[in-house]
Structure 1
């Protein structure tokens, strides 16, 4: 007789794994990630000024610290993939700690083109007081090139 029962009426152990619940869970996770991925916002929206300048050579193994100022005048620190909003007084302390640990770390400023020049200069002065030897300014390449 065929089937899970033998002649004595006992069941044979079933050697199949039911993967349907696993597939259901994976499809739900796929839908969740597809919905949330576009909502993640990386970085800060800054409209950089355009200039024709050569890129700065930085060592490959050192991530630069990028300090951004957006249109509203808020400050952000980006180190690697991590971007966080900071207050002006905390900015000096955090950048100073990073530069004190690794003095060769390059510090770059991303200032929105609509931010007042005085605010960018004040930011550079704050960075200089926190121990940064030189500050680089970021820009976009000119469109006419």
Structure 2
């Protein structure tokens, strides 16, 4: 299956540090629930959302990415939740590949977020050390004479 290629390298680890033509969006975790609860009327009569789907949906609702979601994003995510529910409730594992592709559009994994130029920061965590310098990249090398 064809992919999208490698994820972009961390800018702080690049040897050449040219300005990135597309700026990275910095998102901060705030723990706020956004969007709506999963609607009960979209499943069949008497059917309830699978517990894994409820957990998955609430993870998206509290994710930093949810700060940027428009109504169309929530609608697309609801369609994806229906696939997620079907996969878990009925064992329809053939939906897993489509779910992975759909979740990637929202930045589900660190690789997806790098591709989308998203950086998630946690205000409770201290900032990391200063960016890598050339001496850390090449500190082990000696000058040949």
Q: What range describes the TM-score normalised by the shorter chain of this pair?
A: under 0.3
TM-score (norm 2): 0.22
**Which protein has greater RCO, CA pairs closer than 8 Å, 6+ apart?**
2
**TM-score, normalised on structure 1?**
0.22
More helix by share: 2
The structure whose residues are more often strand, as a share, is 1
